[in-house]
Amino acid sequence: MAISDVEKTMINDLLSPVASYYTEKIKEFGPQPRGVDWNGVDGQVLRFTQLSRLLDVERPFSLADIGCGYGALLDFLTERYRDFQYIGLDIAEAMIEAAGKLHENKPQARFISGTEPPEVIDFAVASGIFNVRLSGSDEDWRSYILQTLERMHQFSTRGFAFNCLTSYSDADRMRSDLYYADPCEFFDLCKRKFSRNVALLHDYGLYEFTIIVRK
């Protein structure tokens, strides 16, 4: 699915403030969970554990980390898998710079500014990129999510996974600058559009869900 110029403009308008938001975070807190707007290491590892259920450990794989931040997922994968190639992508240049410095001794990894890998890969994951919408409308943000999932589907050959804040969150804790997605809607969408092999994970103790799409 090609993205029209109008859609590209809309996405750029939505993401430019988000890039600035995360640039300020990494400058303030440095390469740690708070630098990518997570509360701590435990929650970060728990998210990565859900996303990594996508992976097939029996053979080598390539993976694109969409919204890689400072590359924390790469560290997680390196501790658990041997033979893989990693591409980290982020819209915030400061994140790419931090990730490159932290992982300059990892020859299996590349960090690139942008939202898509330069080649087709086996797996794609997106952790946290659908949460912070700032002043973007529900309609525009949902459209951005759908377009991103379409692209992830197109450039991954073996599957993709993503997480979102859940619409089942406690109402008194929900923030107006964050987007809370309906897990049932996105499960149904992925099942109908992308694959018959779709898993919805909503049982790991955080106010979010993970969807895994296997091809």
Say if residues 111 and 96 touch (Cβ distance below 8 Å): yes
CB 22 within 8 A of CB 37: yes
In terms of pLDDT, which residue wins out, 11 or 58?
58
Question: Domain limits of the chain?
Answer: 5-214
Residues 5-214: name the CATH superfamily: Vaccinia Virus protein VP39 (3.40.50.150)
**The token pair that represents 198 in the structure block:** 């779709």
What is the DSSP annotation of 147-208? HHHHHHHHHEEEEEEEEEEETTS-GGG--TTB-EE-HHHHHHHHHHHT-SEEEEE--SSSSE
Instruction: Look at the block and give the residue holding tokens 């982020």.
Output: 90
Kindly report, residue by residue over 90-109, the tens digit of the pLDDT: 999 999 999 999 999 999 99
Phi, psi values for residue 150, rounded to 5°: -60, -45
pLDDT of residue 56: 77
What are the tens digits of pLDDT across the range 106-146?
A: 999 999 999 999 999 999 999 999 999 998 899 999 999 99
Q: How far apart are CA 183 and CA 186, in angstroms?
A: 5
* Local structure of 21: helix, strand or coil: helix
- What pLDDT shows up at residue 98? 93
